[in-house]
DNA sequence: AGGCGAAATTGATCAGGCTCAAATCCGGGA
DNA sequence: TCCCGGATTTGAGCCTGATCAATTTCGCCT
């Protein structure tokens, strides 16, 4: 059984999609297996994607294989919009993932004609930029413990403070998102557990319970 | 005498500004002294800025003073656009800097009315996002030597491959941009100099001559 | 030209996070 | 239910880049 998180799309983002493209533009659904590539860096962008269920990672690679994950995309999130003629990074399904597709050209068309969704597109890109800016602060200046804590708080918020947080991604993904190694991520999580700020729930390491959100927020400088 | 770089605005960006706001929106010019704050994180955005001459750094701070510089802005560059009601970072003049101001509300107005500059605004925000994404790769995964080399190549391109590159920012600024300490930046520059890839020009450490751009490009993974 | 304070370089040592390695845990299939 | 392979944790030692500390260089002023 594959992990599914947050099956219901979040309303505000759903609204964003509708405003952006209109119902008729959402041409079809598509399903990706765990680990499947959705698009590759350098490819020509054909679609914009909205996640119905599942989770996606987008990343860049250096020639020798070092990987930096820009962002995780969860149910309800949009990704894959490009203004240029190539994708700037690769997107892969972390778990089995269902997406809505819409044609990129439809969106560009809507903008050209001063469509109602233009403001939402600007907002969408701006939100991505905002996330990237705070992530640069994390990558450039935070300690490993602060990074892992920041990640937990980010996920907790995006999953709307669940009692038990089910992470779709493995430790390597988290490490490549935070600019660390998987061992360092694991050690940081163990420290937070030993200090009583979180619990590894039951018999799976991907189920976490944030016990003391206040203390976590204080660590996240 | 203060350092001035690249006094003439680059045409394509000038065009961007014009398309975005129209001549009439460029309400006035303003001058900032070396080190002066242009706007602070959390402040309400009133203007969007285009640099006539000089250089600007934008950055975020952690509570204990750790600083991450998102970007350097040079002559011709625009900065300070916000979609939200607060600035997401601080902007300071690195050297004496002259800017064009235009009212943020004018731009939002233009977008609301489907103005011709809308596409350019999307392009502007997308370019910022693109820069942020490649900077995340640098901050998360590159070595100190790779970072400094990437910085030199970026500046070289933005200054259009001058014979002698005059850097407006000091070593601490470079370090805070690259997620390093100023000592590490200095050591990396010394290594590149000792290996003959660049020269410290004459009697100033801020004047660099890139001797072997090919070799530098190879270091920048 | 001389001198002062800031900026930059260079050196010595330290430490946080990485690498290498081993043990343990977990999910899924037989 | 047992077993296997991948994921995760944990440990030991190392290395890159940080920190602390002199020097040297440079910009700018008189």
pLDDT of residue A114: 73
For B60, nearest residue in chain A (alpha carbons): A137
* Residues B31-69: b if buried by 16+ CB within 10 A, e if exposed: ebeeeeebbeeeeebebbbbbbbbbbbbbbeeeeebbbb
pLDDT higher than 60, residue B135: yes
Judged against a pLDDT cut of 70, whether residue B7 lies above it is answered with: no
CA B81, CA A53: separation in Å to the nearest integer?
A: 34
The verdict on a CB contact (< 8 Å) between A111 and B132 is: no
What is the three-class DSSP state of A61?
strand
Joined together, the tokens standing for residue A210 give: 């944030």
- In this prediction, what percent of chain B has a pLDDT beyond 70? 88
Structural domains in chain B, CATH included, are 11-118 (2.60.120.10), 142-219 (1.10.10.10)
Q: What's the full length of chain A, in residues?
A: 221
B204 touches strand D (CB under 7 A): yes
What is the model's pLDDT at position A10?
A: 35
Residues facing A69 on adjacent strands: A59
Closest chain A residue to B122, measured at CA: A122
Least confident of A111-115, B4-8, B53-57, B114-118: B4-8
Which residues share a beta bridge with A31?
Answer: A98
CB neighbours (10 Å) of residue A89? 23
How are beta strands A78-79 and A165-166 bridged, if at all? unpaired
pLDDT in tens, B54-109: 999 999 999 999 999 999 999 999 999 999 999 999 999 999 999 999 999 988 88
d(CA B65, CA A221): 10
Taking the CA of residue B10 and the nearest CA in chain A, the distance in Å comes to: 21
Closest partner residue to A140 (CB to CB) among B114, B130, B179 is B179
Residue range B45-60, pLDDT digits in tens = 999 999 999 999 999 9
One digit per residue, the tens of pLDDT, for chain A of length 221 reads 222 233 333 333 444 555 555 555 567 999 999 999 999 999 999 999 999 999 999 999 999 999 999 999 999 999 999 999 999 999 999 999 999 999 999 888 888 887 778 888 999 999 999 999 999 999 999 999 999 999 999 999 999 999 999 999 999 999 999 999 999 999 999 999 999 999 998 778 899 999 999 999 999 98
Among the partner residues A66, A114, A118, nearest to B141 by beta-carbon distance: A66
pLDDT at B1: 26
Asked if residue B158 has pLDDT above 60, the reply is: yes
Q: Which residue has the tokens 């009133």?
A: B46
Closest chain B residue to A130, measured at CA: B88
Position A201 scores a pLDDT of: 85
In angstroms, what separates the C-alpha of B105 from chain A's closest C-alpha? 14
The encoded tokens of residue A50 equal: 């909205």
CA distance A4 to chain B (A): 28
Strand partners, B39: B91
Asked if A117 and A108 count as a contact pair (C-beta separation under 8 A), the reply is no
From residue B132, give the alpha-carbon distance in Å to each of B1, B10, B209. Answer: 33, 21, 26
Residue B31's pLDDT band, with cuts at 50, 70 and 90, is very high
Nucleotide nearest to B184 (CA to C1'): D17
> Do A139 and B142 make contact, defined as CB atoms within 8 angstroms?
no
What radius of gyration do chain B's Cα atoms show? Answer: 18
Does A139 contact B136 at a Cβ distance shorter than 8 Å? yes
Strand D bases with any atom < 7 A from protein Cβ = 7-12, 16-21, 25-28
pLDDT at position B109, please?
86
Higher pLDDT, B187 or A12: B187
Contact predicate A210/A216, CB 8 Å? yes
Q: What is the pLDDT of residue A63?
A: 97
Residue A89 confidence (pLDDT): 97
Q: Which residue of A has its CA nearest to B178?
A: A140
Using a CB–CB cut-off of 8 Å, the residues of A that contact B are 60, 62-64, 66-68, 70, 83-84, 88-89, 111-114, 118-119, 121-123, 125-126, 128-130, 132-137, 139-142, 176, 178-179, 221
Distance between the alpha carbon (CA) of B201 and the C1' atom of C8, Å = 14
Nucleotide nearest to A186 (CA to C1'): D9
Q: Which nucleotide is nearest to A179 (CA to C1')?
A: C17
Phi, psi at residue A62, to the nearest 5°?
Answer: -90, 160
For the segment A108-138, what is each residue's pLDDT rounded down to a tens digit?
888 888 777 888 899 999 999 999 999 999 9
């Amino acid at each position: 059984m594959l992990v599914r998180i947050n099956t219901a799309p979040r309303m505000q983002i759903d609204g964003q999609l509708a405003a952006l493209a209109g119902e008729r533009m959402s041409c079809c659904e598509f399903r990706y297996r765990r680990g499947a590539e959705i698009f590759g860096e350098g490819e020509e962008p054909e679609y914009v994607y909205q996640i119905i269920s599942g989770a996606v990672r987008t990343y860049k690679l250096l020639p020798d294989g070092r990987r930096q994950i820009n962002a995780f995309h969860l149910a309800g999130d949009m990704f894959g919009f490009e203004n240029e003629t190539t994708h700037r990074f690769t997107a892969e399904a972390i778990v089995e993932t269902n997406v809505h597709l819409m044609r990129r050209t439809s969106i560009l068309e809507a903008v050209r004609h001063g469509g109602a969704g233009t403001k939402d597109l600007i907002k969408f890109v701006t939100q991505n930029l905002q996330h990237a800016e705070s992530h640069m602060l994390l990558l450039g200046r935070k300690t490993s413990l602060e990074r892992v804590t920041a990640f937990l708080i980010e996920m907790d918020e995006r999953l709307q403070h669940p009692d038990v947080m089910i992470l779709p991604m493995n430790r390597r993904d988290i490490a490549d998102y935070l600019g660390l190694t998987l061992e360092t991520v694991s050690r940081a999580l163990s420290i937070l557990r030993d200090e009583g700020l979180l619990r590894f729930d039951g018999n799976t390491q991907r189920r976490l319970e944030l016990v003391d959100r206040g203390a976590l927020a204080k660590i996240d400088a």
